[in-house]
Amino acid sequence: METSQAIQPQGSSAPAVREPRSLPAGTGASWWGEGWRIFSVSPWWWILIVIVFLVIDVILLIIPIIGSLAYSLLFPVFVGGLMLGCHALARGEPLALGHLFAGFQGGRFGPLIVLGLIGLGLGIAYAIVLGIVGAITLGTSVLAAMAAGGGDPTAMAGMVGKMGGGLAIFGLIGLALGILFFMAFWLAPALVAVQGVAPMTAVGMSFRGSMRNIGALIVYVLCYIGLAIVASIPFGLGWLVLGPMLVGSTYAGWRTIYGD
């Protein structure tokens, strides 16, 4: 595995915002290859990390309201710690369970929590916008179907078709907004935890890096869909491997787009 040095030394000033590299579309597949190499260096530690992380998730999510809120805020903290774990492996250092909690240490907790707050705010905005779009598209279709009435099968069939069209528009808008959200946060934990970038700046850099490499990102997501299907077949046990690969491939994305 290629070694790299930490970009942000302890005690140094905040790093300058740099422009993302533009990579070939095929790089999206190579990120998964790097994710596999990162997993294979220390597979048992990775599997233990996944199990512990799942236990924490379950504990948080069964707590009404507060647990879900805490999960949303702490998720970037855990992911940032795992990015540091990948960075340690890239420098030839061993992986440990403690890397799951490394985001709570070294002055990284505050920025990563702020990143979680940004994500929570954008998630609420996403839900509001999606609710408004749903009310407009689906509500208009339902009202039109009710107005058709009269027992005319042809008219009712046309209204059902319009309702289906409204549902399709709603789904496409929701998917588009979800993709934009993913692009804004895909690289952000690594930028904050490893590179020392400010949270809001990291969100912008993640989005620009994703846009600059949209071809590679499409290939990456298509590979993910195929791998997720395969990982889910044997009672979901494949996620014990795919989970670490997802972390490693994200680190590889950061390293090739923004890393030294």
| Contact (CB, 8 A) for 204 and 122 | no
pLDDT at 247: 97
Q: Which residues contact 114 (CB under 8 A, 6 or more apart)?
A: 199, 200
- Please indicate, yes or no, if residue 129 is contained in any of the structural domains: no
Whole-structure pTM value? 0.84
- Please indicate, yes or no, if residue 152 is contained in any of the structural domains: no
Q: Any idea which of 74-83, 126-135, 232-241 has the lowest mean pLDDT?
A: 126-135
Residue 172 has pLDDT above 80, yes or no: yes
Mean pLDDT along residues 101-105:
94
Task: Choose between 142 and 57: higher pLDDT.
Answer: 57
pLDDT at 13: 46
- Please indicate, yes or no, if residue 210 is contained in any of the structural domains: yes
- Please indicate, yes or no, if residue 42 is contained in any of the structural domains: yes
In the chain, how many domains are there?
1
- Please indicate, yes or no, if residue 21 is contained in any of the structural domains: no
* pLDDT, the chain, mean: 86
- Please indicate, yes or no, if residue 173 is contained in any of the structural domains: no
Shortest CA distance to 81 belongs to which of 55, 54, 47, 108? 108
Q: Whole domain around residue 191: which residue ranges?
A: 27-123+187-257
Residue 2 has pLDDT above 60, yes or no: no
- Per residue in 14-38, pLDDT (tens digit) is 555 678 999 999 999 999 999 999 9
- Per residue in 69-84, pLDDT (tens digit) is 999 999 999 999 999 9
- Please indicate, yes or no, if residue 251 is contained in any of the structural domains: yes
- Please indicate, yes or no, if residue 172 is contained in any of the structural domains: no
